[in-house]
Chains A and B, each alone.
Chain A
Amino acid sequence: KQEVTQIPAALSVPEGENLVLNCSFTDSAIYNLQWFRQDPGKGLTSLLLIQSSQREQTSGRLNASLDKSSGRSTLYIAASQPGDSATYLCAVSGTGRRALTFGSGTRLQVQP
């Protein structure tokens, strides 16, 4: 059974810092990996989707990398802003199963 772990569970940083969020998964037979953002009381917004054949994806100040063989992904946020404060969730889909398996998320607070 796939398990996804995210470290740290919570993070507080001053505005302007670059930061890294970590995600690990136990079964490397994934089809793709997604990073989502969730604001309090809201649904999830997809940030980046990395196919299993890819090593990284970039969107603006966000960069996500994937090392499938070691079961790891990182989300890099450059020059953090207070508006980045949210919970960031990592999720993987399996090669045979369409459902996403989520981690518990990293709650990020960027202090102005």
Chain B
Amino acid sequence: NAGVTQTPKFRVLKTGQSMTLLCAQDMNHEYMYWYRQDPGMGLRLIHYSVGEGTTAKGEVPDGYNVSRLKKQNFLLGLESAAPSQTSVYFCASSYNPGKNTEAFFGQGTRLTVV
């Protein structure tokens, strides 16, 4: 049972380059999330999705785009990477956070923008 899988695990980008982070879950969860984790700031929500074909902005959406074309996948895109986007990115999924379920997290992607 894979749970939540993120690819890649590590990446170094040059300023201005673009990339896509992939999140896949095999638990048939409706909700999916992208967070970034920075020292002293905890986890901040970038974007989230409440179901296939839907996306919504979180706390820090600028510079990122997302897509949820299939229920099991949630993609996070950086169109033009900036050093401020150096961070650890976590994907998570949940059936429905209000229905007595918790979020399950992926292993994280460590992104460095130089």
Are A and B part of the same complex? no
A residues near B (Cβ < 8 Å) are none
